Amino acid sequence: MGSNKVNYSFQFGPVFEAWPLLLRGTWMTIQLSFTAMVLGLAVAILCAWGKTAGPAPLRWLINVYIEVIRNTPFLIQLFFFFFALPAVGIRWSPYMAALIAMVFNLGAYATEIVRAGIESIPKGQIEAGHALNLSRVEIFRFVVLKPALRAIYPALTSQFILLMLASSVVSVISADDLTSVAANLQSETFRSFEIYIVITGIYLALTLAFSYVFRLVFQWGLNYPDRR
């Protein structure tokens, strides 16, 4: 029996020649992911506050939002914002549709993380804030939210990384992210193996970089003394 030999000649030249496109796609992924993380965290904090201190109708609406997002695929959510809403006159660019879908997705998942952190704060600390005559906003910001974020930042970091990796899905609506650039290069050069090796390396580098930046931001921001 003859041996089967795979004769494949690696050619990374066409991939590296397209470095401006790869750089642009990488920057788009970073920009899209970071913006969605910031806005999604803001949504999560507001929803977590609503679930713990809001009236019953508000808590019900937030629960419906969380259940809908957490029990449907992100791809379907993306299609809803980009393909379904134009039927009722709401149109967005691929970038904006991708951003809004990512914000809604992260907001739902991060709400439960933030809520768990808020509920872990001892009631005695809140009572102490009232004793110091702090306003409700000051109590929530300094007595509740900051210690809560300090406790849950590892879980938030993991959720942020998952969101960044999930951003690759937005290529299906022609958003010019890294995965979309890779697909275009593959159709032009037919060097699939080389392209996706490089793209894998870029995503890995982004994951490590985001993890390091988040660790620095949370450790510095949450340990920085308040000046009031």
Domains in the chain, CATH or no CATH each:
29-222 (1.10.3720.10)
Is the pLDDT reported for residue 111 higher than 80?
yes
CA dist., res. 44 & res. 69, Å (int):
13
SS3 191: coil
Is the pLDDT reported for residue 141 higher than 80?
no
> Residue with structure tokens 């306003």?
135
What's the pLDDT tens digit per position in 31-89?
999 999 999 999 999 999 898 888 999 999 999 999 999 999 999 999 999 999 988 88
Query: Which carries the bigger pLDDT value, residue 33 or residue 222?
Result: 33
pLDDT of residue 57: 93
Q: 10-14, 19-23, 47-51: lowest mean pLDDT where? A: 10-14
> Residue with structure tokens 């970071």?
34
CA dist., res. 200 & res. 76, Å (int):
25
> Residue with structure tokens 């379907």?
76
Percent of the chain predicted with pLDDT > 70: 93
Q: What is the mean pLDDT of residues 144-151?
A: 79
Q: How many CB atoms lie within 10 A of CB 20?
A: 9
